[in-house]
Amino acid sequence: MRSYAKSIALYGRTKEHLAGGVSSNVRYASTPVPLFFVRGEGARLYDVDGNTHIDYVLGNGPAILGHAPKPVIDAVARSLADGQVYAAQHPRETELAERLCGLLPGAEVVRFATSGTEAVLMTMRLARAFTGRTKILKFEGHYHGWSDQAFISTRPSLNEAGPAEAPVPVAGSPGMPPSVLDDIVVAGWNDLEAVAAAFDRHPGEIAGVIMEPVMVNGGAVVPGEGYLAGVRDLCHIKGALFVCDEVITGFRVGLRGAQARFGVTADLAIYAKAVAAGFPLALVAGRRDVMDTLLDKGVMHGGTYNGNVQSMAAAIAALDELERDDGAVYDAMERRGARLMQGLASIAARRGVAMRVQGLPAIFQTFFTSGPGPRNYREAEACDRDRALAFHRALQEQGVRVNQVAKWFLSTAHDDTVIDETLAAADRALATLE
């Protein structure tokens, strides 16, 4: 058995002065306590107890080039002596904005922020200001940050969530004013009729429709054929903006994100996480006429750290790596991820464990179900979470780190040797679940 004695002791000490012992509630979900790491390099993390972990959490997505990627670290190191925040413009911002607009679908202009949560809020405000309407339609199981306005029906209990065809908005946290629920319409995802019905129930009221174009947070689910284009078309018929939250999918499911992969272009899109390979950066990209309301109509957006020197330097260096040979690293990552997905599925089949591997090669989930793969939040919730947790624990014992629902993020540093090692570890872990 691996020992976590030092993590346990450090967690006890940390809790005395850091609320709950963590800086984000998501980090409570770790076994046996929130673990303490001292170093990350490539595909691996090293904890205070001397355990090595092949890491498929990757900071929940940012570490697309693995931990401490040298070209990014070097670029950031070179930038440090230039200062950090100017409360003014600088040429690295110009360069990054130009490159992103040349690359991303529908990106006529971009605006930088620091976290995905804030960038989501910017899109909600822009949609409301541009359309003069108030309501935002979001989907059950989709996470768009922890704000009062967006942390709604992200993981609702099915007792409170109402009927699948017309879900009731459910606040995700104590302390959220009930009034925020009035401004949100919730629909089940991957069901075009549900979106049409929501528009019909709220004629002329919906400013924008926001979604994760691949539902990652509520269970790794790929959109059905034609669904994204169908939602986009409905938005445009009904005079609403179509907003893609690519905080996870951007720079992960392909160089140009989920929109390019599935052949749709949103009016506004949000990127964060992988864009700066581990440094804090988020951005909104989209239509010039919508984004221009920031200037023309005085739609407010601010942030002390937005466009800071190190985040810009990191993103430029990350783009150099990701864009080389028109995104050749994605081909390699896709191939290795597909091999990992297939390998896990065949080990589970050989061992007689009812497990489904679902998603895309750079972000997927292992669901425990003998039924078909889930297509939406409610179906994902019906899978066996206790088995997923047991798999997470068994993998950790074998030196592989996935999150507690058994979600797997890949990086370019997960080479074939790492994949082989992971499959051997997964074989031993699944043996304990037979």
* Sites of contact with ligand PLP (CB under 6 A): 60, 115-117, 120, 143-145, 212, 217, 245, 247-248, 272, 282
Residues 6+ apart with CB under 8 A from 106: 259, 265, 266, 267, 269, 285, 286, 287
Shortest separation between residue 189's beta carbon and ligand PLP, angstroms: 13
C-beta of 61 vs 230, nearer to ligand PLP: 61
C-beta of 282 vs 413, nearer to ligand PLP: 282
Q: Which candidate in 11, 143, 227, 377 is catalytic?
A: 143
Shortest separation between residue 280's beta carbon and ligand PLP, angstroms: 8
C-beta of 301 vs 351, nearer to ligand PLP: 301
Beta bridge partners of 187: 139
| 143 flagged as catalytic | yes
Shortest separation between residue 244's beta carbon and ligand PLP, angstroms: 10
Residue of closest CB approach to ligand PLP: 116
C-beta of 117 vs 149, nearer to ligand PLP: 117
CA distance 312 to 228: 31
Select from 364, 429, 346 the least CA-distant residue to 390: 429
Select from 322, 259, 298 the least CA-distant residue to 96: 322
| 297 flagged as catalytic | no
Select from 70, 65, 69, 9 the least CA-distant residue to 36: 9
Q: What stretch of H or E contains 354?
A: none
C-beta of 162 vs 303, nearer to ligand PLP: 303
Shortest separation between residue 233's beta carbon and ligand PLP, angstroms: 23
Q: Which candidate in 245, 271, 330, 377 is catalytic?
A: 245
Shortest separation between residue 9's beta carbon and ligand PLP, angstroms: 29
C-beta of 150 vs 419, nearer to ligand PLP: 150
Contact 366, 378 (CB under 8 A): no
Could you please report the per-residue DSSP string of 185-206?
EEE-SS-HHHHHHHHHHSTTTE
Tokens standing for 339?
């091999």
C-beta of 104 vs 418, nearer to ligand PLP: 104
CA distance 374 to 246: 21
- The SS3 call for residue 118 is helix
Helices 309-351 and 91-103, packing angle to 10 deg: 40
Shortest separation between residue 118's beta carbon and ligand PLP, angstroms: 7
CA distance 369 to 384: 6
Select from 341, 334, 333, 281 the least CA-distant residue to 306: 281
Q: What stretch of H or E contains 132?
A: none
Q: Which candidate in 135, 138, 238, 273 is catalytic?
A: 273
Cβ-in-10-Å burial (0-12, 13-18, 19+) of 370 comes to exposed
Shortest separation between residue 60's beta carbon and ligand PLP, angstroms: 6
Exposure class string for 263-275: b at 16+ Cβ within 10 A, else e: ebbbbbbbbbbbb
What secondary structure, in 3-state letters, does 229-284 show? HHHHHHHHHHCCEEEEECCCCCCCCCCCHHHHHHCCCCCEEEECHHHHCCCCCEEE
Shortest separation between residue 155's beta carbon and ligand PLP, angstroms: 13
C-beta of 184 vs 247, nearer to ligand PLP: 247
Exposure class string for 26-44: b at 16+ Cβ within 10 A, else e: eeeebeebbbbeeebebbb
List active site positions.
Answer: 143, 245, 273
